[in-house]
Amino acid sequence: MYTVGLQSAADAFLLASLQAQLVIALVLLFIIIVFGIGAHKDDGHDENSPVFLPGHPLLSIVPFFRKRFDFLNSGFRITGQSLFQFNLLRDTVVVVSGESARKAFFANKGFDLTEGFKVLSGAIPMVRGVTSDLQTRRIALIHKRLSAVQKNEPLNQLIVPILEDTQRVMDSWGSSGTFDPFDKVYELIFQTTVRSLSCAELADDPAIVARLKKLYDKLDSGTTPATVLLPWFPGPSMIKKLLATKEIYDIVVRAIDARIASGISRNDSLQMLLDAGDEKLVVVGFIMGLLIAGARATGTTASWLITFLGGHPDWRGKATDEIKRLLEMYSPPESTSAKPSLSSHLASIPLEAWEAETPVLDAIIHETLRVAQPHTAMRRNLGPEVSIDAKTIPSGAYIMYPFSDVHLNPELYPDPWKFDPGRKEEVQTAFGYVGWGGGKTICLGQRLAKVELKLITSMFLLGFRYDVVDSTGKRPEPLPQPNWNDILLCRPAKGSCYLKYERSELPL
């Protein structure tokens, strides 16, 4: 099932002698340089084309992958244009900004999301026919199944297991301590995402969940410019990604086979897929792809949301008061039995209340997505050529729109780095907020993500007293700021952000 050609190439490369490996690497490097030199020869700028970023195209590769936020901002600054282009080897990439470009970007039917991410991202486990090179009908079917997971009944049934998972993980943290939220909170979100989008066979086994997270982390760390632009080159990073992908695939397939062999029906996403009669490729692709896509985005948001509330006690208090009001409204009558756990207490609040009666949590999530989601939307123009701001985007070119263009725009959001959930919503500008995407590409998992964020935030706020501290244990001044160059977790500077916590004795 996996990329057999790459696997064979990797095996052959590893078995070769050191001298042979060196020769192969040098030959490939020579080819890359030749291609790179020939990729862009600017013999005179066409006024109808976006201006090229000056300098040799090879010099763009590392900054694009390692410090994308700085690289794109410098591109706009150096060219002085709202659109510019550069080359990644032989691929042309056009970067756009501004309201008119934003409207064209999100509305154009020829700008394909799948093709854009396939070349420019590289952080999704690529298994041919399973998570890559998918037929259109399979992509549509996976989207349909994700929508089904978030219908009222399935989503309502997820509330209890998500809260129970959260209780178990938070109990493992002990009564007090200090941790990095971008490790611990992300681990918690990974657990609840496995629960929501896969099966009990995986979610009920903490060792398997931990192993899956470690493997997906290997995919992240193994994603280099070479593995994205030269996926056929059997370098060390590519081999690491291949082995991690194969193990993830094997774990998922074993869980599916165990369910089928048991003949036992379970109330989870895997059962929904099996009951629908989906082919195995769709089932495996759904779990492998959505696990990490969901965990990354929601994990980033949750880590920053809880961190922001740690540094803003006024909004932490408002959110805590809102959750307490829900508990007062929906809690069952007290019984003579033992005091219920926090998770069972929160489980008494119905889905409808979580979605419709939490304006403070909604505002906090909205603002966190604005200031701490370092997305750069990627598309490929499948044709025909398009004109944006009087500049031609040729068919076959890749197009990028950085969310920072709107979310960190001081004209739309004064003091844009400030965390302020009380901001007035931007409604005067087209696509003035794209926290959940825009146009024909809206986050398909946003309903599940919002519920996850509200449940986990509620558990944390009621379960702990905490503060943001630095590596010395003191409150950092200024508070940590999201690092948009970290395109996965937006982590702040190393050592600048920890949460110091202790169990709360808040009455329920």
Q: Which two tokens stand for residue 254?
A: 């074993």
Which of 233, 242, 228, 240 is CA-nearest to residue 28? 233
Residue partners of 474: CB distance under 8 A and separation at least 6: none
Q: Which strand (E) or helix (H) includes residue 476?
A: none
Give me the residue label for tokens 């890359």.
Answer: 32
Q: Which residues are annotated as a binding site?
A: 443
Please name the amino acid found at residue 215. Answer: L
Distance separating alpha carbons of residues 367 and 409, to the nearest angstrom: 14
Distance separating alpha carbons of residues 84 and 66, to the nearest angstrom: 19
Q: Which two tokens stand for residue 78?
A: 């150096």
Cβ neighbours around 21 below 10 Å, total: 15
DSSP characters over 71-138: HHHHHHHHH-SSEEEEEETTEEEEEE-SHHHHHHHHH-TTEEHHHHHHHHT--S---BTTTBS--HHH
Q: Report which DSSP code applies to 60.
A: G
Q: How many CA atoms lie within 13 A of 133 on its CB side?
A: 7
Alpha carbon 473 to its chain centroid, in Å, reads 30
Give me the residue label for tokens 């948001």.
Answer: 301
Q: Which residues are annotated as a binding site for heme?
A: 443
